[in-house]
Amino acid sequence: MTGPERDPHPTEDATGPSVGQPVGEEEPTAGQPRRSGLRNPERAVRGLGAGTLSLEALVLLLAIQPIRVVGGDLGGAAIGAVVALAVAAVVLAGMMRRPWAWNAGTVLQGLLLLGGLLHWSLLGLGIIFALVWAYALHVRRVILG
């Protein structure tokens, strides 16, 4: 190997901060909140929420045909409800800049759980996506404080 050898445990000396520490930032002291390290934490959290809702919409639309084939009794009203939930998820994904969109996303998860009254597989999807949404809310709270 050619090249300079690096100290596996760099320390700060008189020349500046240690390797890996951003210039101009110092280690947080006790009592100071630690930064997330993200350039724009709000944008990252909005992307997480929008991605979660977009994935939910895609799964809902793709689940219609298997539910019809396997479940058998998914009527026109139930299909309309699934499509309406998918459209609402896409609209909310585009509106994640609004502070109320997170609450509306939580309501959407509750409506999907209520869709379990129409077909048992919608209850299963509702439980899965409610857990994913709860995790997204947890990440939002941790990052944004």
User: Which mean pLDDT values do the consecutive 10-residue runs of the chain (145 residues) have?
Assistant: 58 51 53 67 92 96 85 76 95 94 96 90 93 96 89
For residue 106, what pLDDT is reported? 96
pTM of full prediction above 0.75: no
What are the Cα distances from residue 135, in Å, to 45, 104, 116, 128? 12, 16, 21, 11
Task: Tell me which residue of 103, 100, 99 sits closest to 133, measured CA to CA.
Answer: 103
For residue 46, what pLDDT is reported? 94
For residue 65, what pLDDT is reported? 86
